[in-house]
Amino acid sequence: MKRSELNEKILVLLSVTLLLAVTVMGCGKYEPKLSELGVQYVSKNHTNEDGSFPGITVKSVTKEGDNIIIQTETPFDQIQYALNNFLAFQTVNEKGNTNNKVNAKIENKNDMGEIIVTGEGVKDAKYIQVIPYKNKDNQTLEFEIK
């Protein structure tokens, strides 16, 4: 075997090995940058009825049966207005697949809004995105469901 043929075979083998390594590493576990609980996030793309920028402070995110419960430290009236006008949710499973076929309703808990999310994908959801709010890195808010 000539030296050039050997070099060519080594190059092909290294290329295949590199391609395989990249493929395997690319199939890793979905690990989003989670947003912080208890922090007020403000949207500059929308306004409340009074013209102020809407904020949301998520206290906790839990799953109860087929429901995702988002407890907030945001006044009920503000969350109700946001839900009626621009607030949306998207679930994310452990593989990173998203589902926006969800419904949300709000309940008044001590004058704060508690959001109940139902629909397709809730059962398999590991994370929930709160749209249109963004974190300091300009990424959509994403919380782990406990």
Q: Quote the CA–CA distance of 59 and 70 in Å, as a whole number.
A: 7
Asked whether residue 66 carries a pLDDT value surpassing 50, the answer given is yes
- CATH 2.30.30 at 40-144, yes or no: no
The Cα-based distances of 55 to 11, 47, 66, 87, 115 in angstroms read 56, 9, 27, 11, 15
Which residue is associated with the tokens 């959801």? 125
Q: Quote the CA–CA distance of 14 and 88 in Å, as a whole number.
A: 47
For the chain, the domains span 1-30, 40-144
- pLDDT for 81-124, tens place per residue? 999 999 999 999 999 999 999 999 999 999 999 999 999 889 99
The answer to whether 125 and 68 have CB atoms below 8 angstroms apart is yes
- pLDDT for 10-49, tens place per residue? 655 555 555 544 444 456 789 999 999 999 999 999 998 8
Give residue 1's pLDDT: 65
Token pair listed for 116: 């109940």
The answer to whether 36 and 73 have CB atoms below 8 angstroms apart is no
